[in-house]
Amino acid sequence: MLTLLDLFSGCGGLTLGSKMAGFVTELAVDIDPILSSSFGANFPATPFLAADVASLNSARLKALLPNGVSGVVGGPPCQAFSGMGKGLADDPRRSLLGEFFRIVSTVKPAFFLMENVPGLVFPNNRPVLDAAINSLGSSWEIIGPIILDASDFGAPTKRRRVFVFGFDKRKMRVPTLNDLVESDAYRVSVEDAIKDLTVASAVAGATDLWRYGSDSVVSPYAQKMRSSSGQFTGHQLTEHKPSTLERFALVPQGGVDPVGKYKRLSWAGLCPTLRAGTGSDRGSYQAVRPLHPVENRVITPRECARLQGFPDDFIFHSTVWHSCRMIGNSVSPIIAEALLRNIRNFLKGPSDNEML
């Protein structure tokens, strides 16, 4: 059985992607009670630890993972490295990058996968990454950092992120970069992703419960995302002021509202990177959501989730704000699945199908 330790799991984007790729998460860890609040609902069989990863010393990790794991995955908090934020050198979250690599050294998996924002490789941040990588032993073969876009792997969002991969040469065959990024995914548009939701209707008498409409054209992507029950949550429509609606009506597909900087999605295009905003500890700033291609409103959490690659039966927070924070902070399950499937191929022996 191929097993993982998922650090900074949030709502579970990497957890879902790894599950679809055939891995079992032995333990997920996150300290944020809001961003991880729905984790148990989505992964009831996965052990979850609400803790600061800095508290995971060798003895505690051994007790939590007595049989070790095949891999360690995670996306350390990115705000300290983001080009969108202040990127302060004294931001305590910068140290969490080193904690990820410390835990890799302690747990000794066969591989690791780390995701972060492109700002991590900016000149002022790169030394932090290099120092963390250099803390690993000589048995590790490192690939990256490399910037990958989720849209190249079948997600309908233009989401560029830095990935770093590491492989213990003593425990598995080492893939090449081409092996890791191989994908036969087709390009998925905004229309493919969310157009069928325009005819969804609220379930009478229920709170935040929706059912699919009788749309005769449902794309293969949307069909894959739909829940088997025919119902879903998280599709609350935002009510805007009349003056705001008038302003939105003037924004064409692909255009930008000059006042609020809302980008109007294009049916034929990709969704721009969905941002997370901040929690109450950082000022409670809400990230600007894109405008729907034809309706004069921002997109709903469920539409955000579809565009990020989450299926309709995935549960988020009961509020719009925190649901969108969860999605904006997550790794797209689609790119996670693709990368981990490619890694899985190298966890097999060179001449047979036996897992190492």
Q: Does residue 11 have an active-site annotation?
A: no
Helix 333-344 × helix 13-20 angle, to 10°: 40
Tokens of 160: 């560029």
Instruction: Please state the φ and ψ torsions of residue 182, each to the nearest 5 degrees.
Output: -60, 135
Measured between alpha carbons, how far is 244 from 225 in angstroms, rounded to an integer? 31
Can you list the positions of beta strands (E) in the chain? 3-7, 24-30, 48-50, 71-74, 111-116, 140-149, 160-168, 201-202, 210-211, 231-232
If we measure between CA atoms, which residue out of 330, 332, 348 comes closest to residue 70?
Answer: 348
CB 130 within 8 A of CB 142: no
Helices (H) then strands (E): counts for the chain: 12, 10
Tokens of 21: 């790729």
* Cβ pair 23, 42 in contact under 8 A: no
Q: Which one from 11, 78, 271, 324 is the annotated catalytic residue? A: 78
Token couple for 308:
């990020």
Q: Where are the alpha helices (DSSP H) in 66-210?
A: 95-107, 126-134, 177-181, 190-194
Catalytic site positions: 78
